[in-house]
Structure 1
């Protein structure tokens, strides 16, 4: 199994809205616990994305999915944001 993934992905919000973009993910081990997470840069930033709550889906190519929580957002440019994600459950990459 890979320890990193960078490429296209989509966030699937609770209401079913699909947000395409690029993601950079990695696995990690902290204090004996294994986990995964990374960052997501949406192609466009809809308002509902900044209001996304816990446990939304992250869809990777080839029908691979994982559950993520948005842990933070920051502006990159006037029209772009970078979203920090923490994964839960099995690693999808």
Structure 2
């Protein structure tokens, strides 16, 4: 069974900085509830986000939080990027 989430989210970096944006997440079909990931499109792109790696938290509405790792960053437009995320632990959706 695949579960999905698409909507507002907040990515918290290791230094505590928060970046708002939109997330599109799903569980891995073979991974169960602990195998999940997706993409995050930030409202603002910072150097800290470009250098982000492990130990980040993704917060969804209603204080649902999951630990994520940035697995890649791809430029969409001149001012927008799409961040690929891999989740750790239970899916927060």
Q: 1:54 and 2:54 equivalent? A: yes
Cα distance in 1 for partners of 2:64, 2:73 equals 24
Cα distance in 2 for partners of 1:29, 1:9 equals 22
Give the total of aligned pairs: 90
Cα distance in 2 for partners of 1:12, 1:29 equals 26
Cα distance in 1 for partners of 2:46, 2:63 equals 23
Relative to its length, the structure with more strand (as a share) is 1
| TM-score normalised to structure 2 length | 0.92
Q: 1:4 and 2:4 equivalent? A: yes
Deviation >6 Å, runs of 4+? none
Once the 2 structures are TM-superposed, how far is the Cα of residue 55 of structure 1 from its aligned partner?
Answer: 2.0
Once the 2 structures are TM-superposed, how far is the Cα of residue 28 of structure 1 from its aligned partner?
Answer: 1.0
Relative to its length, the structure with more helix (as a share) is 2
| TM-score normalised to structure 1 length | 0.92
Residue in structure 2 matched with residue 19 of structure 1 by the alignment:
19
Cα distance in 1 for partners of 2:75, 2:66 equals 24
Once the 2 structures are TM-superposed, how far is the Cα of residue 29 of structure 1 from its aligned partner?
Answer: 2.9
Cα distance in 1 for partners of 2:66, 2:76 equals 25
